[in-house]
Amino acid sequence: MRPDDPYRSQFARSFFSRWLFITACLAALMVLWHLLPVFESWFAPEAGTPRTVTARGDLAADEKATIELFEKSRDSVVFISTTQMVRDPWTRNIFTIPRGTGSGFVWDDAGHVVTNFHVIEGASQATVKLADGRDYQAALVGASPAHDIAVLRIGVGFKRPPPVPIGTSGDLKVGQKVFAIGNPFGLDWTLTNGIVSALDRSLAGDRGGPVIEHLIQTDAAINPGNSGGPLLDSSGRLIGINTAIYSPSGAFAGIGFAVPVDTVMRVVPELIKTGRYIRPALGIEADERLNERLVATTGIEGVFVLRVAPGSAAEKAGLRGILVGPAGIEPGDVIVAVEGKAVHGLSQLLARLDDYRVGDTVRLTVRRGEEHREVAITLQPGV
């Protein structure tokens, strides 16, 4: 037998010691790995401890401006709910049912509230709720369906909210920021914002009603219940009354319309004064459908005068309607422009005249035969 090698024995002992050490370390690491959650629970914050709030810093300038605009304007906007009286055909009892809701805004210190005509159309009663929670029964002062504008009045003897500041709409530019405050779907005092998308839009009235002209188009969200509420510029001034949306689905689709404040400023004072708005007129007779056929047949765009009323402003200005004589039918005058602005149909003529008041003198461009001439005419009250 070979004698033991002292070096080999020493190596074996050294290798075995290292193996034991590594095995012990691995076992210790395994134990620590399993005990790690316990150690974490010792040092972790107590469950339910509030998180530290991170300081935000100042609001952006446009955020501050929007908040200030809403806070200054909110109290001047009102919530309008209407009811309708109906008769039970079986019992003949009369009772009231909810009809709808809308928005409006305080016009003056006398308690007049402006809204859309379609908000109160067909209603028997209207209730105006203020931002502070007070509500009042409103009286109808007057309405102009042709402009979709109505004026209500709420009670006397209490401190009213401030009127909405009045701006202008004739100088609006596409791209301007606008803000709408109203009560969409009954969600009271909601603020939305957007821009002026287009100007001078036309919109056919409901159920064959008159075409509303000169509308402001906006992408600020307008939904059912916003009707009658104010459209404001970035200074918080009234520039329009939110009146309608274009939507295949019935919900907001990015296209809303507002009656411009320049129209409101002509119509509302007349409604407050007399209860109705009398449109300026020329004293002529014309027909929209016949006019469309004549335009298509002749290729001449304008309003064909069918008849001039005796003693009217049109007769005094020398306008002439269709003449029937021995030689047959002789065409009358065709109005092609008002103050240099083209007229393509009867609704547009009425809209052009609506920019003026009864008693104003306007300049018409009239075509008679192949000639064009300028005619000055003083506007008379319409029927």
Calpha distance 192→161 (Å, rounded): 21
Res 160: pLDDT: 85
Calpha distance 310→308 (Å, rounded): 6
Active-site position among 144, 227, 312, 347: 227
Q: Answer for the pair 175, 187: CB distance below 8 angstroms, yes or no.
A: no
Residue 40 pLDDT level (bands cut at 50, 70, 90): low
Over residues 14-36, the mean pLDDT reads: 73
169 part of the active site: no
Calpha distance 175→133 (Å, rounded): 35
Q: Which CATH architecture has domain 177-274?
A: Beta Barrel (2.40)
When the pLDDT of each residue in the chain is averaged and rounded to a whole number, the result is 86
Res 251: pLDDT: 61
Calpha distance 246→257 (Å, rounded): 8
pLDDT tens digits for 158-186? 788 999 999 999 899 999 999 999 998 88
Calpha distance 24→16 (Å, rounded): 12
Calpha distance 70→181 (Å, rounded): 8
Outline which parts of the chain fall under CATH 2.30.42.10.
Answer: 280-381
pLDDT tens digits for 242-255? 998 877 666 667 89
Outline which parts of the chain fall under CATH 2.40.10.10.
Answer: 70-153, 177-274
Res 185: pLDDT: 86
Pick the CATH number of 70-153 from 3.40.710.10, 2.40.33.10, 3.40.50.12780, 2.40.10.10: 2.40.10.10
Calpha distance 267→76 (Å, rounded): 20
pTM: 0.77
Q: In this model, does residue 324 exceed pLDDT 60?
A: yes
pLDDT tens digits for 271-284? 999 999 988 999 99
Q: In this model, does residue 43 exceed pLDDT 70?
A: no
Residues 6+ apart with CB under 8 A from 318: 375
Q: Answer for the pair 74, 103: CB distance below 8 angstroms, yes or no.
A: no
Pick the CATH number of 280-381 from 2.60.40.10, 3.20.20.60, 2.40.390.10, 2.30.42.10: 2.30.42.10
Active-site position among 112, 118, 147, 214: 118
pLDDT tens digits for 143-160? 999 899 999 999 776 788
355 part of the active site: no
Active-site position among 76, 112, 144, 148: 148
3-state secondary structure of 363: strand
Residues 6+ apart with CB under 8 A from 248: none
* Alpha helices, H only, 44-145: 61-73, 117-120
Over residues 40-69, the mean pLDDT reads: 83
Q: Answer for the pair 242, 217: CB distance below 8 angstroms, yes or no.
A: no
Over residues 298-305, the mean pLDDT reads: 91
Res 131: pLDDT: 92
DSSP 67: H
Locus of tokens 């914050």: 45
Res 1: pLDDT: 44
76 part of the active site: no
